[in-house]
Amino acid sequence: MPKSSLSGLNILLLEDEVVLRKRLAAFLEHEGAEVTATATVAAARQALGSMSFEVALIDVNLPDGRGTDLLREKLFPPTTTVMVMTAEGGVSGAVEAVRAGAADYLVKPFDPEELPVRLAQARRNRQARRADEFRRGQEGELVFGPSLAGVREQLAKITAADRRLTGYLPPVLIEGETGTGKTAIARWIHRNGPRADEALVELNCSALPESLAEAELFGHERGAFTDAKAARIGLMEAADGGTLFLDELPSLSPGLQAKLLTVLEDHTIRRVGASRAIPVDARIIAATNADLGVLVAAGKFREDLLHRLDLFRVRLPPLRERGQDILVLADELLARVSRRYGQKPPPIPAEGRQRLLAYRWPGNVRELAHEIERAVVFGGERGLEFAHLAAENGGAASPWLRAGFVFPESGFSLEQAIDDIVAHAVRQADGNVSAAARLLGVSRDVVRYRLRGLKDSDKGGE
């Protein structure tokens, strides 16, 4: 383990044996930790009343009581990792302490060199617990169709470069409309990179109240503000060694943007209310549905932060630009939803597929997923036809108005297509026949003739 593995840890050491206490304190300080050494339960209680600790190393048998009493009295906040030290005969007591909330125990005599390994593991466990509080419940999967071939090539190059690096990983910036799958991209990068076994912490910046945003990101010390009854690590620290995904990045205030820039440049954070900086190695993946260049020009985003983030940029195209990939994605989503509901996937007939291709999908992949799930639950025996999408698309149910249209084997009605074009032009012209004729490059009589035919058709169907 490198000597910096314990950097920034504030440790409470409770041990009455003078030689061992001094030896352990000297070793831990040499490893970069800050140590408060005590010899009695009373002194430890006093220290806990005035300071916050990430780790506590406590002996069991002490002159004025048992160190494990501190656990039973619930004097350690959830953010403190407690490790119990005991002689060989006191192992049963140490096991009891673990059941009471201690993270681990060490049997005396032990080699101090063992401590960094145990403490590093305890720190990772603590980070994982914090990360789990913010992990999204449903893992998004990325379906790579032909339209995302360029994106996949970019991602493969990024993860290949990551594996060649031995230090900090550069940030990644993901651009795309809401619902295009930016979170799925971030998860793919993490799962396929060298930090796949470490924490992935996800945060939607727009969901953070401005008054709490700094504490959530960077943590706080006890007493830093009114409700800060115990120290708490922030999401940046929880992601140490892993990845921090910041969705809707422009929602951060200018002050927090400046602090994020410091993290990217110096790889340190400072908790709210703290006087010391803590080294952090978290890979930052940021996502935005806005053009950051436009926001910089409007004074709403820091230009220096954009330059720092804009190294590996990935752009996700909206669903309406993905052509036949819409059907590939629909089939994959249908299979997943059907598995979740414990049923066989219903078919999507040709009409349903044409409507999926014709629709504009303003909500992108997220909207498609919701449509698929609704159709599975409420669909009829004939399959998923998505008839309502034609009306929601402004009445235009003609898939040939979209790129990627494939002529159906059952045939194609050219006359119907012409009627649809005329109706579409009239809608665009707000019902003005002359304006629609100019759009189409034909006379008003042609438009009137087609409209008359549409009216007659409607009457015949009544």
Looking at the predicted structure, is the pLDDT value of residue 35 above 60? yes
pLDDT digits 0-9 by tens, 212-239? 888 889 887 777 777 666 667 788 888 8
Give pTM, 2 decimals: 0.62
pLDDT at res. 381: 62
pLDDT digits 0-9 by tens, 255-284? 999 999 999 999 998 888 877 888 899 999
pLDDT at res. 132: 53
pLDDT at res. 303: 95
pLDDT at res. 142: 65
pLDDT digits 0-9 by tens, 148-170? 889 999 999 999 999 999 889 99
pLDDT at res. 136: 42
Greater pLDDT, 461 or 360: 360
pLDDT at res. 423: 80
CA distances from 333 to 112, 143, 369 (A): 53, 9, 6
pLDDT at res. 315: 93
Q: How confident is the model at residue 4 (pLDDT cuts 50, 70, 90)?
A: very low
Alpha helices in 165-253 (DSSP H): 182-191, 210-218, 235-238
pLDDT at res. 102: 82
Average pLDDT over residues 380-395: 68
Q: Within 13 Å, how many C-alpha atoms sit on residue 290's CB side?
A: 16
Alpha helices in 135-280 (DSSP H): 149-164, 182-191, 210-218, 235-238, 254-266
CA-based torsion, 93, 98, 101, 107: positive or negative: positive
Tokens of 20: 């061992």
pLDDT at res. 285: 97
Average pLDDT over residues 193-204: 89
What distance in Å separates the CA atoms of residue 188 and residue 170, rounded to the nearest whole number? 16
pLDDT at res. 89: 58
Helical (H) or strand (E) element with 104:
strand 104-108
The per-residue pLDDT of the chain, averaged, comes to 83
Provide the percentage of residues in the chain whose pLDDT is more than 90. Answer: 31
Looking at the predicted structure, is the pLDDT value of residue 397 above 50? no
Looking at the predicted structure, is the pLDDT value of residue 352 above 80? yes
Average pLDDT over residues 46-58: 88
pLDDT at res. 160: 95
pLDDT at res. 284: 96
pLDDT at res. 430: 75
Is the CB of residue 62 less than 8 Å from the CB of residue 17?
no
DSSP state of 392: H
- Residue 36 corresponds to which amino acid? T
Q: Which residue has the tokens 């992601």?
A: 239
Say how many residues make up the chain: 462
DSSP state of 168: P
